Amino acid sequence: MYNSKIAGLGYYVPENVVTNEDLSKVMETSDSWIQERTGIKERRHVAKNEGDTTTSMGVKAAKIAIERAGIDANDIDFIVFATLSPDYYFPGPGVLVQRDLGIGTVGALDVRNQCSGFVYGVSVADQYVKSGMYQNVLVIGSEVHSRGLDMSTRGRGVSVIFGDGAGAAVVSRETDSSKGILSTHLHSEGQHAEELSVIAPGMGKRWVTDILADNDPNDESYFPYMNGQFVFKNAVVRFSEVIMEGLQTNGLGPTDIDMLIPHQANLRISQFVQKKFGLSDDQVFNNIMSYGNTTAASIPIALTEAWEQGKIKEGDLVVLAAFGSGFTWGSAIIRW
C-alpha cells in the first residue's frame, strides 16, 4: 500500500466582483441584511455574455496545481471533476478538461455531490493512489452559479449566497506513511434531498417537450431552492460528527487540529463549528466573505489560499470538512 498526498494546489476566480451593494440594485436586500445572515461581503460572477465556463475555470486552476506539483499534464493518470453546474447536460466536464489540457486517454470521472463534491473527489483519488492503480490524480471543483440564479427579490434568499470559481489539487503518491491523507469519511442522507435542490431540468417526471411547451415564467423549479434553517441545523450537526469521526479514526482530538478548512457555506456555520471545537481564528480558514459559496470549488479555493498565505506548514494536521445538498457530507484528515 502506498500513501497519498496533496502535491499541488491552484485556484481561479473570475475578475468580475459583485458586491452586496450591487445586488441591492436588482433585488430588495442590503449589505447589512446579507452580512448578518451569511457573512458574505462580495462574490465573483462570470461575465454575462462571454467569458469563463465551469470547464475553462477548472482548466486554469488545474494548470496551476499541476505546475506546483512539479509534474507535466501528461503525468496525470486520472481526472475527477466535481461540480453541480456542468457546461453541458452531458458529457460532463471531466472529459472536456482532459481534452483542453491535452492529456492522453486517461479516465475521467464526474462527481455530482455538490458542496461535498471536492471531499468526495479527494477520497476517490486517495483510494486510487493508495491502491497503486494511479500515481497522480487531478481533482477539480468548479462552479458557475451566476447563470442559474434567480436574481430578483423572489430568489434573494439563495442568490445572494452563491459565487463562481474553481479550485484544483493534484493527489500523488507518498512513500512516507506518516504524511499525506490519513483518512477520508463520506456520508449521505437522501431523505432530505429536496431541502436543497434544483428540480429541473430533470427526467424524473416531465418530458423535455412538455417543459419547452410550458415556458412558464412562474416556474421556480429551474432555480435553486433551500430550506435555510433546516439546512443550517443539519449542517452544524454533521460537520461536527464527521470531523470527530476523522480525528478519532486516527487517534486524534480537536486540540491536534492545526488548520480546519470548512466548506464555505455560511460564515455562521463555520463560527458555530469553530466554537464547538474550541479553535482559535488562526486554526480555521474562512474566505466566504470574498467569494460567497462556490460549492464544489469552495474547499480547494480556501485550501489553496491558506497554503499560499503560509497558514499551512509541513507537519500540520489539516482537516477538510463539507456538508451540502443530498444531503451529503464528508471529511479528510491530512498530515501536511
Best CA proximity match to 252, nearest among 156, 182, 336: 182
Distance of CA 222 to the CA centre of its chain: 21
3-state DSSP assignment of residue 277: coil
User: Is the bond preceding 93 in cis, omega lying within 30 degrees of 0?
Assistant: no
Residue that is written with C-alpha cell 451593494 in the block: 21
CB 310 within 8 A of CB 336: no
Q: Rounded to an integer, what distance in angstroms lies between the CA atom of residue 286 and that of residue 264?
A: 7
Q: Give the number of other Cβ atoms within 10 Å of residue 99's Cβ.
A: 12
Residue that is written with C-alpha cell 439563495 in the block: 158
Distance of CA 140 to the CA centre of its chain: 9
CB 318 within 8 A of CB 179: no
Best CA proximity match to 138, nearest among 195, 100, 176, 188: 100
List, as one string, the DSSP characters of 41-55: -EEE---SSSS--HH
CA count, 13 A, side-chain hemisphere, 111: 27
Best CA proximity match to 129, nearest among 188, 97, 170, 157: 170
Burial of residue 129 (number of CB atoms within 10 Å: 0-12, 13-18, 19+): buried
Active site amino acids: 115, 263, 293
240-to-70, 266, 289 alpha-carbon distances in Å: 35, 15, 22
DSSP 31: H
